Amino acid sequence: MPKLNKLTASLSLLTSGHTLVLAGALTLGLTSHQATAASGAEIDIIELARYANIDSVLLDRAITQATYQQKIIDAMNRPYEGKPWYMYRKLFITDKRIKGGIDFYLAHEQELLRAQQELGVAPEVICAIIGVETFYGQNMGTWKVLDALYTLGFHYPKRASYFSKEFANYVKLATREGWELTSVKGSYAGAMGMGQFMPSSYLNFAIDFDGDQHVNLFTNSTDAVGSVANYFKGHGWVLGGGVMYPAHVAGVPQGTLDALMKKEWNLTPAELVAAGVTTKVNLSRDQNVRLYSFELEDGSYDYQVGLNNFNTITKYNKSPLYARAVYELSEAIAQGYAQIKQQSGATGKNP
């Protein structure tokens, strides 16, 4: 599907009162397939510019520079998070990724420990996020962020509201940073840098952690570490708090378990205990929790109770599979790091 060219964009703006109406693409001379692909997406450029606090001319110009990418739509329709847990886990909990996380921790120990002290986020969790997202900065994505956000914001109706706003945020961010709109590469969803920040997160949570007066999440690991920590701080991470615990559900009827899982974050520890669900630790009663089930390779299910910090990880990516992978990777990184530090202490050598 070709991009909206300048004539198409201008006609759309003139005929709809500065509203980009993709559902009416057929009237602008596009094929019926193109109109169907964009059906239901109606974006008011003026409102979008007002939301991002930028000039609508900038948005119009960005639209004319963007190119529709069908492969991005295809990727959105088959996400990793659609896999069962036992398959998803194998993608991220590997010896190579654990070793990479330990190496990253050791190489950036100073800034990671400073992030823990100043922002209250565990170093291993920061490492795990960067490890899951980009393999410690090695795979930050090959899609033009402009194309990704344009495609999803204007040609993917079920997420158009979110991604069109991120498109506007990207234009604002690129203007602020002096980026060429088509030069920045990221994921097929438009996420950028070592920690794969969406434009709104880049604007709101990315920080200059090394004091060089620039915020660079692409090649500056110090800024990336501080920014991931700042994101977690802003979403309620509690240093030293639990993340998730195995739930013992023997004897609890399946219907009861299903009802508990539907309560999402309105579930209390007292309700779990009353239903016969227990954990290896006593959960404090002044919190809400959530019960999850994860499919295992033998067809059975592993039940886990997620706490506040688990909820915080889902603010980064809403999938519980993602959150559990980050948590398990962080635990493995922390264990490996501690072993190396212990060995280096015993030998008197620097790791």
Q: What is the pLDDT of residues 49-74, one digit of tens each?
A: 999 999 999 999 999 999 999 999 99
Answer whether residue 28 shows pLDDT above 80: no
Answer whether residue 152 shows pLDDT above 60: yes
Question: What is the average per-residue pLDDT within 68-82?
Answer: 90
| Domains 6-77+142-186 and 79-140+207-240+309-351 fall in the same CATH topology | no
- Helices 320-347 and 85-92 pack at an angle, to 10 degrees, of 40
Tokens of residue 227, six digits: 């920014």
pLDDT at 349: 61
Alpha helix (H) residue ranges in 135-220: 145-154, 160-177, 199-205
pLDDT at 81: 77
pLDDT at 345: 79
Q: Where are the domains of the chain?
A: 6-77+142-186, 79-140+207-240+309-351, 244-306
- Residue tagged active-site, from 133, 177, 295, 328: 133
Can you tell me which residue has the tokens 């959960």? 283
pLDDT tens profile 273-329:
999 999 999 898 888 999 999 999 999 999 999 999 999 999 999 999 999 999 999
Least confident residue range of 63-77, 167-181, 317-331, 334-348: 334-348
pLDDT at 207: 98
Q: How open is the CA angle 43-49-55, to the nearest 5 degrees?
A: 135
Answer whether residue 138 shows pLDDT above 50: yes
Question: What is the average per-residue pLDDT within 174-198?
Answer: 97
Short-list 168, 181, 179, CA closest to 53: 168
Q: Please state the pTM of the whole predicted model.
A: 0.87
| Mean pLDDT of the residues in the chain | 89
The more confident residue out of 344 and 181 is: 181
Answer whether residue 16 shows pLDDT above 90: no
Contact call for residues 310 and 326 (beta carbons, < 8 A): no
Residue type for 72, please? I
Q: How far apart are CA 333 and CA 337, in angstroms?
A: 6
pLDDT at 10: 37
Quickly state the pLDDT bin for 31 (edges 50, 70, 90): very low
Residue 42 is among the residues annotated as catalytic for this protein: no
CATH (one of 3.30.470.10, 2.40.30.10, 2.60.120.620, 1.10.8.350) for 6-77+142-186: 1.10.8.350
Measured over the CA atoms of residue 174, residue 175, residue 176 and residue 180, the dihedral's sign is positive
Domain 79-140+207-240+309-351 matching CATH 3.55.40.20: the answer reads no
pLDDT at 294: 98
